[in-house]
Structure 1
Amino acid sequence: MELLVVGDVHGCFHTFTKLINEHWNRDKQILVQLGDLLDRGKFSPETILYAIELKKHNSDKVYFLKGNHEFEVIVHLEEGNENWLKQCGQEILKQFERKSLDLVNYISWLKSLPLYYETDHAFISHAGISLTAENPFEESHPESVLWNRGQLKNIGKLQIIGHTPCKSGRAEFDNDSNTLNIDSGVYLPKGLTAVKINDEGKVDEIIFVPTLSIDVTV
């Protein structure tokens, strides 16, 4: 099947649902979101609940991957994470409290998220396969598929990543590593990007939805 790969959402619920409602063909496309569903934007609880429902009702056609922000939340819930609390955690906890929700109730779901989605022609992860990482799937390592910001490895198929917002505010392709970065900085606020990939691993269309003002504090 074709793929619809969506970049970092960061709690921008209304922008995310607009993209899904207008551009995802459930009959023809597998939906893959490459991590960082939460933090930064104003609607992390709504985004998580929406993702859980999408997966529940489309289990074989929807895949949410783990990003570094999901990892940070898991660390906080299991052992405490002052760094996350200082960056954006306090606000996220308040968002959940305002909805009468407890973030700890979602830890099992967050921990269950896979690190990558792979086909014969494409490899999708949050931050990509590093050129130098000995084990790119060691979650806490700075060169892992959750954290890497260094040079990427050409793995013989298209990599699709997010994690590092593109300076241009649009998807950017790196020819050396055959990698497409689709993090267009939805929370900055710029917009949310998705890419349609055909059965041969070729890019059919790049979709850009400008960030809706309701999702962010400017």
Structure 2
Amino acid sequence: MSLFIIGDVHGCFHTYLKLMDHWEPKTETLIQLGDLVDRGNFSPLTIRLAFEVKKVFKNSVHFLKGNHEHMMIRYLQGEPNSDHWLDNGGKETLEQFKTHKLDPYFYLGWLNTMPLIWENKNVLVSHAGFSGNGSPFDTHNPDGVLWNRKPLIHMGKLQVIGHTPIAGSKAEFHEASNSWNIDTGAYQGNYLTGIKLNKDGTLIETITIPTDPRDVEQKNSLPSGMVINSKGQNISLSN
């Protein structure tokens, strides 16, 4: 089967639905590389859809853990020093769960099962990619596959990552590291991108869906890219 890999959704549910229309379940393995939640207006619906898709398609669908799922899990489990999630989209996400009458704890077990990577012989998918600094799978390592923003190293296979939004509207290929960054800033009102690959890593096509305004419009009329944090301060959004 070929691969359909989706970038950072960040609660942009309506945009996510439009991109999912391009998935061919009979011929494509679906991989989403993390950060389903926070920033956009519909994190609970995004999680619910992913959960249901995984239930139905099981082994042909893979949802990876991003740094925002990691922060959410730690907060819901009551781990020490986990309140910073609230200032990174978590406060709004919890309010959305209340609005939609959904229980975030219902999904906690599933969120905990999310792997950090998906790979075959030719393709390696993770949220933030491999920097070569420290243990890549240490969730506290700022240069690990959940948090890295440094240049990627060549891993001997094609890497596909997100995490760091691209300034333009198209996914970017980096020859030195043999990698694609497909985070095109959906929550910033730009695009949500999916990339289709043959199982050997050769490109079939990239698909970019403009962000549906419903997913990012601010009811408080803040400028684009701004939110109010839990302390009542205006802050810029960062991924």
- TM-score normalised by structure 2 residue count: 0.88
- Provide the secondary structure at the position in 2 that maps to 1:111: helix
Please show how residues 52-71 of structure 1 align to structure 2 within 5 Å.
52-71=51-70
What stretches of structure 1 of length at least 5 have no aligned partner?
none
Counterpart of 1:123 in structure 2: which amino acid? L
1:104 offset after TM fit, Å? 2.0
After TM superposition, list the pairs within 5 Å mapping 1:51-200 onto structure 2: 51-78=50-77, 79=79, 81-131=82-132, 133-200=133-200
Q: C-alpha offsets along residues 40-95 of structure 1, whole Å, 9 cap, x if unaligned?
A: 00000000000001000001211000000000001111226221112211111100
SS in 2 for 1:48: helix
CA-based RMSD: 1.0
Instruction: Give the 4+ runs in structure 1 shifted more than 2 A.
Output: none
Mapped to 2, the partners of 1:200 and 1:179 lie a distance apart of 14
- Conserved 8 A contact 2:139-2:146: yes
Deviation of residue 107 (structure 1)? 1.3
Q: Distance in 2 between matches of 1:190 and 1:114?
A: 27
Match of residue 220 from structure 2: none
* 1:187 match: secondary structure: helix
CA distance in 1, matches of 2:19, 2:88: 27
Q: Tell me the TM-score normalised to structure 1 length.
A: 0.96
| Cα distance, 1:199 vs structure 2 | 2.5
Aligned residue identity for 1:106: Y
- Cα distance in 2 for partners of 1:142, 1:121 equals 26
Structure 1 residue matching 2:166: 3-state secondary structure: coil
Q: How many residues align?
A: 216
| Cα distance in 1 between the residues matched to 2:85 and 2:186 | 19
Unaligned runs of 5+ in 2: 218-223, 225-239
Q: CA deviation at 1:156?
A: 0.8
Q: Distance in 2 between matches of 1:84 and 1:119?
A: 32
Q: CA deviation at 1:102?
A: 2.2
1:28 corresponds to: 27
Q: For the residues of structure 1 that align with 2:149 and 2:54, how far apart are their CA atoms?
A: 29
The residue type equivalent to 2:88 in the other structure is Q
